């Protein structure tokens, strides 16, 4: 997994944007990019106990690579239509030498939990939050910041998976638009109603338009979920 130390220097996000930057147009154009690569770190802190989910990935219309880490646990999700592959958490073996499950995406509806989880592993939820935020330009060109309503249905849905189902209030969004007119940095912060748990989400988006390379697991290392269900 890539290191996230020092990954968020807003001033270095693609350089200064051109004057007259439209952050909403940038969000739309970013969402329509043919592909995007990204790193995301979601830290939930309660007292002195931080818990950080890290995602190092790339996505396009038909492909997805997401390497995940949470504490000492690591795993990966790969999509190369029509198949989705999910690795077992590090140290676990499903059966014999099998440590991947394969799902045919035709078995899942667009509203299924599987597809919802897949979307949460891309920048899509962050762009939805940006679209709902009341952003204003800051002193440096291309940098925008502002609040977003925690009870907005779009915001709640977008952050549900990434925030472990917790509801965070006092949400604040900061965005950096690069010279290419696309969003390169995102930061979202908030806290629970009782103030005991805080959210700090940081994302870096880069290599727009660069193809996403997916290396499916080798034969014999995965099991189809349909077969798993038959054996159950």
Neighbours of 104 (CB within 10 A): 13
Confidence label for 10 from pLDDT (cuts 50, 70 and 90): very low
Domain boundaries, the chain: 15-226
Q: Per the structure block, which two tokens stand in for 144?
A: 């925008």
Q: Is the pLDDT of residue 231 over 80?
A: no
pLDDT for 41: 97
For residue 185, give the 3-state DSSP assignment.
strand
Span 35-64, pLDDT tens digits = 999 999 999 999 888 999 999 999 999 999
Average pLDDT, the chain: 86
Task: Give CA–CA dist 116/109, Å, rounded.
Answer: 10
Query: Are the C-beta atoms of residues 59 and 36 closer than 8 Å to each other?
Result: yes
Neighbour-count burial of 63, counting CB atoms closer than 10 A to its CB (0-12 exposed, 13-18 middle, 19+ buried): middle
Q: Which CATH number fits domain 15-226: 3.40.50.2300, 2.50.20.20, 1.10.3720.10, 2.40.50.100?
A: 2.50.20.20
Q: Per the structure block, which two tokens stand in for 166?
A: 């917790």
Span 176-215, pLDDT tens digits = 999 999 999 999 999 999 999 999 999 999 999 999 999 9
Distances (CA, A) of 10 to 18, 56, 140, 165, 230: 15, 19, 10, 28, 51
**Type and span of the H or E element at 175:** strand 169-177
């Amino acid at each position: 997994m890539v290191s996230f130390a020092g990954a968020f220097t807003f001033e270095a996000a693609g350089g200064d944007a051109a004057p007259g930057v439209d952050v909403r147009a940038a969000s739309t154009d970013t969402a329509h990019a043919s592909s995007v690569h990204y790193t995301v770190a979601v830290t939930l802190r309660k007292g002195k106990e931080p818990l950080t989910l890290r995602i190092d990935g790339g996505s396009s219309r038909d492909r997805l690579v997401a390497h995940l880490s949470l504490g000492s646990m690591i795993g990966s999700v790969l999509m190369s239509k029509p198949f989705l592959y999910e690795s077992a958490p590090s140290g676990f073996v499903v059966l014999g030498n099998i440590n991947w499950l394969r799902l045919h995406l035709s078995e899942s509806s667009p509203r299924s939990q599987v597809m919802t989880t897949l979307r949460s592993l891309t920048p899509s939820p962050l762009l939805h939050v940006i679209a709902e935020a009341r952003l204003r330009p800051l002193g440096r060109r291309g940098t925008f910041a502002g609040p977003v309503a925690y009870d907005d249905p779009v915001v709640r849905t977008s952050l549900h998976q990434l925030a472990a189902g917790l509801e965070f209030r006092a949400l604040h969004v900061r965005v950096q638009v690069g010279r290419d007119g696309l969003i390169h940095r995102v930061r979202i912060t908030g806290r629970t109603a009782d103030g005991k748990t805080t959210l700090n989400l940081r994302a870096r988006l880069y290599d727009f338009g660069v193809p996403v390379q997916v290396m499916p697991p080798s034969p014999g290392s995965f099991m189809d979920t349909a077969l798993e269900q038959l054996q159950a």
